[in-house]
Amino acid sequence: MTGLSSSAIPPRRHRALLDAAGLRAAVRDAFVKLSPQHLVRSPVMAIVFAGTLLAALITLGGQATPGFGWAVTAILFVTVLFGNFAEAVAEARGRGQAAALRRARSDLIARRIGPAGEETRIAAAALRPGDAVIVSAGEFIPADGEIVEGVATINESAVTGESAPVLREAGTDRSGVIGGTKVLSDRIVVRITAEPGHSFLDRMIALVEGANRQKTPNEVALTMLLAAMTLTFLIVVATLPAIGAFVGVKVDVLLLIALLVCLIPTTIGGLLPAIGIAGMNRALAANVLAKSGKAVEVAGDVDVLLLDKTGTITFGDRQATAFHPLAGVELRTLRDAALLASLADPTPEGKSIVRLARQQGSAIDEPAQAHYLAFSAATRMSGVDIAGADGARAIRKGAADAIARNVAAFGGSAPNELDARVAQVARGGATPLVVSEGRHVLGVVELSDVVKHGIRERFAQLRAMGVRTVMITGDNPLTAAAIAAEAGVDDFIAEARPEDKLARIRAEQAAGRLVAMVGDGTNDAPALAQADVGLAMNSGTQAAKEAGNMVDLDSDPAKLLAVVEVGKQQLITRGALTTFSLANDVAKYFAILPALFAAAIPQMAVLDVMRLSSPANAVLAALIFNALIIPALIPLALRGVRFHPAGATALLRRNLLIYGAGGVLLPFAGIKLIDLLLAATVGA
């Protein structure tokens, strides 16, 4: 996934709601979840189950018509089963992938290196953090760790689902490896970093199964609200017999149970666990492993995104596009010098300089006596020293200030024109690379990095949702400003160091904002840990993956944009279904209250707006609709409400219009239809 598509979840990850095996497991688990220790976690479903038992006792005691009493009991029991089934379906969807992950780590044997360098074969489960193991081509990595020696291509398809191998190398930001993945080439030494049972795969298995899922703060708050509403309705219904006695009406206890079940928020109560599990599954469908449901949820509330320019906003593959010689310097001289300085440069920038020079006609050959200087972060330069009959040549290319210091060391000075040339290139959004020979500055090579297609539109969508974007780059301020303007970000940090990221995150959080960022290196770990949402690259170091609360299995920095969409879809789905659940109680109110009091209090007949066939059918129709709406909404709970980038006010208005109005109107039609079917069945 590029992170630039209109959907947060790639099409290749879409799959059927549930296969036959998963369906059978979900049905079985729906009965297993009838245990008291499970039901107590959902106060709403616990009340419905208690009502089921009470209805059964009333019917057995002969205090209700057997046919009506057992019908009410059966419908209430099915309502509880449907609530359990919704959660079981969400959990079952993750079991297939969990099984594949278990197979990836089973029966692994490690070649551990002892204190004296001896090699011992032990079970992977016996490895401990700090152990060093050897892994050769064709072998599986026994546990999570860091490559400390060597470079290898690794097949991570068991974890990421991607068949293309990836390169991992010691001493880089792409040194982290996952237990259960296969080494395809070469030999590496891995230092183990995870305790048995706490590896990346172990966490992933637990999360996709939902076995160790903890409720998110919003989910806990909503559960408490539903419990409070349930208690309120319980008190109200409990007082109805006293009120009825005051006006000379005897209220049927079975009808009171039906009224209570229809008024409490059973729909959202039954779907709430499924919504929470499905949110994490949607993140996983986007190939993002969230370490907790809270991480997914917080992503939906993010106010600020910190994004690296390279690889996220731009493709990160800077190419030489033009040579700009200074006054008095021929274009050929600059072009040939830049080519010589880049012949041994393995970077994409160096190769592109050679390619551009050749395309423009440079036919210069590699010198026989040349000493190449690799790029150094300390000098910020690279180049070549050439020995010849005409004397030694020292050609350098690098940052403008570094070249100026180098020229001064040879007794020269950078001309005033250089600053203007550098500024001209930078204002165009490109990176200036200055070339010199000895004490003379020859000119500037223009390196252009292309902004990803569609990124500006994505940032506009985020802005519409109230999310600010901040670009982080090591470029000079002029180049950064040009790229920021082209990409449409709200702010940028130029010439940024790792500590600058951390400082910006703390400043935003101090202002009360939630911050998300992406990183892959050990130097990103502090900022990833500080951020409210820290998306670490799977290809990055173990320190980065441990610090973040999300891991992108595709190692695509632009995935952070999709993560925000997944989080917002999670919040929107929960809000929409809560709105619908509370709204559809209105119709059930108009169905059951006339059945309770209309016979004794004729004036209440005006509430029977649906003109239902009989009080008994009215109660049964309301209960049946109340039960059926839960499985009907399971696909929506699992797949999520369709996400449309918009502000909070627009989203609230849309939810109220679709799910609020729909929640009021649909039950009227549904209950009336069920009543007609019941009347026809009884009449027949």
Residue 5 annotated as part of some ligand binding site: no
Beta bridge partners of 119: 113
Amino acid in the structure at residue 359: Q
Residue 524 annotated as part of some ligand binding site: yes
Radius of gyration of the chain measured on its C-alpha atoms: 33
The four Cα atoms 439, 444, 445, 450 give a dihedral, to 10 degrees, of 140
- Yes or no: say if 35 and 25 are a contact pair by the CB < 8 Å rule: no
Of 110, 286, 327, nearest in space to 199 by CA: 110
Query: How far is 28 from 437, CA to CA, in rounded Å?
Result: 78
Helix (H, G, I), strand (E, B) or coil at 308: strand
Query: How far is 107 from 126, CA to CA, in rounded Å?
Result: 12
What counts of helices (H) and strands (E) characterise the chain?
25, 22
Residue 378 annotated as part of some ligand binding site: yes
Helical (H) or strand (E) element with 28: helix 20-32
- Yes or no: say if 262 and 35 are a contact pair by the CB < 8 Å rule: no
Residue in the block written with tokens 């109340």: 626
Q: Quote the tokens at residue 429.
A: 């959004």
Supply the angle between the helices 416-427 and 477-487 in degrees, to the nearest 10.
20
- 308 catalytic per annotation: yes
- Strands (E) across 143-263 are located at 145-149, 151-155, 166-169, 176-177, 182-183, 187-192
Residue in the block written with tokens 């395309």: 359
User: Going by C-beta distance under 8 Å and a sequence separation of 6 or more, which residues neighbour residue 665?
Assistant: none
- Yes or no: say if 620 and 543 are a contact pair by the CB < 8 Å rule: no
Q: How does DSSP assign 125-175, residue by residue? A: GG--TT-EEEEETTPBP-SSEEEEE-EEEEE-HHHH---S-EEEETTSTT-
In this structure, what DSSP letter does residue 451 have? Answer: B
- Strands (E) across 421-514 are located at 431-437, 440-448, 468-472, 491-493
* Active-site choice (308, 449, 475, 585): 308
Residue in the block written with tokens 């050897």: 134
Supply the angle between the helices 559-583 and 585-597 in degrees, to the nearest 10.
20
In this structure, the chain runs to a length of 684
Helical (H) or strand (E) element with 384: strand 381-386
Q: Quote the tokens at residue 131.
A: 């152990």
Strands 182-183 and 151-155 come out as: antiparallel
Residue 375 annotated as part of some ligand binding site: yes
CB atoms within 10 A of CB 14: 10
Residue in the block written with tokens 């070249």: 403
Query: How far is 241 from 109, CA to CA, in rounded Å?
Result: 70
Q: Quote the tokens at residue 433.
A: 């690379």
Query: How far is 426 from 432, CA to CA, in rounded Å?
Result: 6
Q: Quote the tokens at residue 244.
A: 């009825």
Residue 380 annotated as part of some ligand binding site: yes
Residue 385 annotated as part of some ligand binding site: no
Residue 352 annotated as part of some ligand binding site: no
Query: How far is 666 from 655, CA to CA, in rounded Å?
Result: 15
3-state secondary structure string across 523-562: HHHHHHHHCCEEEEECCCCHHHHHHCCEEECCCCCCHHHH
**Which residue ranges are tagged as binding site?**
345, 349, 375-382, 397, 520, 524
**Which residue ranges are tagged as binding site for ATP?**
345, 349, 375-382, 397
Catalytically annotated residues: 308
**Which residue ranges are tagged as binding site for Mg(2+)?**
520, 524
